[in-house]
Every structure is written in C-alpha cells, then in structure tokens.
Amino acid sequence: MEGRGRFLLVTVVGGVMGLLVWAVLALNGHVFAAAEETASPPGPSGFVGSETCRVCHEKQYARFATTTMGKLFLKHPRNEKEAQGCESCHGPGKLHAESSGESYEGLITFSKKDPTPVDRRNSVCLGCHQKAARLHWQGSVHEARGLACTACHRVMENHSERYQLVKPTQIETCGQCHLQRKAQQMRFSHMPLREGKMTCSSCHNPHGTVGDALLKANSVNELCYSCHAEKRGPFLWEHPPAMENCANCHEPHGSNHEAMLITAKPRLCQKCHMETRHPTQPHNPATRFVYNSSCTNCHSMIHGSNHPSGRAYQR
C-alpha cells in the first residue's frame, strides 16, 4: 500500500476510534455526572453583590473600576451575567463573606495558587470572549499546554496601555516564556519590534488559529504579503521556494544576516543551486559573486519577475 493510502486508512480508523471514544464518554452521563455537577454554577442565592466585595477589597475594586470590564460590569452591564459584577467571574461570594474571608469554597480567585483547574478558570473568560479572535482557543497550543488566560492578562487593572496584559508590552508578556524570541529583537537585522512599530500580535494570534505557529493568516506567505504585497505576484517567472514559504530563506524574528536571511549569502543560495559554473564555485571572498549583495547583485528579482526575459531573475 502506498504512503497516502496507508495514511488515509490510519486516519479513518483513528478518526472513527476517536469519535467512538468521544461518543462513549460523552453519552455516558452516569459515569461523569459527578464531574458535571462540579462544573455547574451554584444558584443565585449564593451571590452577595459587588458592594459587599468592595467592603474588604476596596483597592482591587477601585482599580477594576478603571478598566473597560470594570466600567461595563459595575456601571453599564449589558446582561444579567455582567450585572453580577465581581461574582460574574469569581463565583458566588456568600460563603466567603459570611466566613469573614476564611472560606474560598466555590470561589475562583484566578491567582497562581488557585486550585481550580485551568480550563475551568479559562471557561469563565470564554463564557463571554469565545468569539472573533478566540474562536479557535480550544485545541490551540497554548490551551493544550494548560495556559491560563491570567498568565498573559491582568483583568483587575490597566497594567498595559491596551488589552490588560500582565506586562507593560506584548513583547514582555510573550517573552515570559518565549525567551529566545524576545532576545532576537536585538539582532542586527530585525523588523521594527524593539522600535515599537510592530509587536507579536502583528503576525500571531496567541488565542489560537487553524494554521501553523498561531499565524494570523492561512499561510506564512499570505501573512507576509499583507505588508510586502509587491512579492505576491503571481509572476511570469516564479521562484518556487519563495512562493511556497518565505521562511525557507528568511527568519522573521530577527537574524544576524542581512534581510533577516537564515544563512548569509552566497551560502544560502548555494544550498540549492548546483548546476554548473559560478553557482557551484566556493568562491574567493573578494569577488563580485560574494561582496556587496552577493548573488542578488545580479539576480535582484529573486522573489519573482514579470519581465519576459526575466527567467533568471535579473530583469
């Protein structure tokens, strides 16, 4: 059996098995009734109202009131859920209030020590935010690794200019885990991130996408073309690896090579070009095939040419 046929078989069998497992688990209400009960919200009798919370949490209340969510929940709720104020997210506070703050039963504190499972905590946020850019949160790499919304967002105060991030900027927020990416902005050849003209979410949607690397577009190239549309074509003479994936040659997070290349020229081009004569020559550094722009001294239309005689990307 050929590779494709074998794979299709494995996929179909795996898919059917997966669906079966899911169906069994999903339909067996008896087995998981206990889990469901835990997840269901308590009745309205347990709510005490935000003003009660304010008595002890005056500072938090004041800070929250300055946020967009605070203004909505505390002053202009759009629905009954928002009208529950603090308890809309934290859960009913009656037990907590009656125990003078001793009991946290039924409460979600969203702190690092909160025993509430991450997906339960996140489901509180997704209850309102599961739309638009958050449509594909489930199954995203951040969801799969158990990242809490509060790992990146500080809901209770305006710590960043926008989006209520835990750090003043997006780069610092994402840089909590993506240390290498944060360092790459210091590279010689970089997009204007450290100058504040771009940020991580210019290209990525951290809340999940259906494509690779949480990119905001259907492909790497489609994303790059949103600003570099001159390379979109279609061209009369295409450079196949360039039209398939810009990242075949470029490292968009920053590089120590010109034009954010993954390898310095001419070695980058020589990885693939082994016809005859000059592309195959190891070269002396003091030749026109190496210095200045190296290969693109002549083959400057390397992303594609529309010139009838531009087959070698020289026109």
Partner 1 sequence: MNDRIRFSLGYLLITALLLLANAVSAETEEEKIRLSGEVEVGGRVFIDRPSEEDRGKFEEYREVPAGPFLENLHLRIDRADENYFLELRAREIGEEDQNILLWGGRPGRSLFEFEWDQTPHTYSNTGRSPFVETSPGIFELPDLLQTTLEGAAPAARPDILRSFLAAAPPIDLKSRWDTARFLWAASPYPQLHLQAEYTVIYKHGERPIGTTFLFTNQVELPEPIDQRIDDLKLTADLTRENWQLQIGYDLSLFQNDADVLVWDNPLSATDAAGAPSRGRLDLPPDNVAHTLHLAGAVSLPRRSRLSGTLSYSRRMQDESFIPHTINTALSDPVLVLPANSLDGEVDIWTASLRLTSRPIQSVGLKSYYRFYGFNNKTPEWIFPAQVRTDLSVLDEEVRSSSINYTKENAGAAADWRWVSSLSLGVGYDWTRWNRDDRHREAPTTNEHTPKVSFDYTPIDGLLLRTSYSRSWRRNGDYDPFAHLAHTEVDVEGLDTSQAQHLLLRKYDEADRDRSRVDLLAQISPKETLSFTPSVSYRKDDYKNSAFGLQEDRNWAAGLDLSWSPVAPGITFYASYMREVFDALQRARYRTPPSQLENPTYDWVAENEDKVDTVGLAVNVVLVESKVDLDLSWNASRAAGSMRAANPVPPAGGTAAQNSSATAVDFPEIIERLQRLEAALRYSVTPALFWRVRYILEKFNITDFRTDEIQPFMGDVDASAGTSVYLGAQIRDYTAQIVSFAVGYRF
Near partner 1 in 82-101, by CB under 8 A: none
| DSSP per residue, 179-248 | HHHHHHTTSSB--TTTTTS--GGGTB-TT--SSGGGBSSSSHHHHHHTT-GGG----SB--HHHHH-GGG
Determine, following the binding rule CB under 8 A, whether residue 237 of this chain makes contact with partner 1. Answer: yes
Nearest distance from C-beta of residue 100 to partner 1, angstroms? 24
Determine, following the binding rule CB under 8 A, whether residue 30 of this chain makes contact with partner 1. Answer: no
Question: In the structure encoding, which two tokens stand for residue 238, read together?
Answer: 């295409």
Nearest distance from C-beta of residue 94 to partner 1, angstroms? 25
* Amino acid at the residue 269: C
Dihedral sign (CA 37, 40, 43, 47): positive
Q: Which residues in 37-66 contact partner 1 (CB under 8 A)?
A: none
Site size for partner 1 (CB under 8 A): 122
Out of 13, 20, 26, 33, name the contact with partner 1 by CB under 8 A. 26
C-alpha separations of 119 from 25, 116, 143, 149 in Å:
18, 8, 8, 9
Determine, following the binding rule CB under 8 A, whether residue 159 of this chain makes contact with partner 1. Answer: no
- Given a contact cutoff of 8 angstroms between Cβ atoms, the answer to whether 117 and 110 are in contact is no
Which of 49-57, 91-99, 100-108, 301-309 is the region at the interface with partner 1 (rule: CB under 8 A)? 301-309
What is the distance, to the nearest Å, from the Cα of residue 9 to the centroid of all Cα atoms in its chain? 32
User: Which residues, including other chains, have CB under 8 Å from residue 89's CB and lie 6 or more apart?
Assistant: 108, 110, 124, 125, 155
What is the distance, to the nearest Å, from the Cα of residue 151 to the centroid of all Cα atoms in its chain? 13
Nearest distance from C-beta of residue 242 to partner 1, angstroms? 10
> Would you give the binding string for partner 1 spanning residues 128-157, x where CB under 8 A is met?
--xxx--xx-xx----xxx-----------
Nearest distance from C-beta of residue 99 to partner 1, angstroms? 23
* DSSP-assigned beta bridge partners for residue 204: 215
| Smaller CB separation from partner 1, 55 or 315 | 315
Q: Which residues in 274-293 contact partner 1 (CB under 8 A)?
A: 274-278, 280-282, 284-288, 290-293
Question: In the structure encoding, which two tokens stand for residue 14, read together?
Answer: 């795996």
Determine, following the binding rule CB under 8 A, whether residue 9 of this chain makes contact with partner 1. Answer: no
Question: In the structure encoding, which two tokens stand for residue 284, read together?
Answer: 């002396």
Nearest distance from C-beta of residue 13 to partner 1, angstroms? 11
Q: Which residues in 103-122 contact partner 1 (CB under 8 A)?
A: 112-113, 115, 117, 119
Determine, following the binding rule CB under 8 A, whether residue 309 of this chain makes contact with partner 1. Answer: yes
Distance CA 229, CA 78 (A): 41
> Would you give the binding string for partner 1 spanning residues 169-208, x where CB under 8 A is met?
------xxx-xx-xxx-xxx---x--xxx-----------
Out of 40, 43, 45, 76, name the contact with partner 1 by CB under 8 A. 76
* Amino acid at the residue 13: V
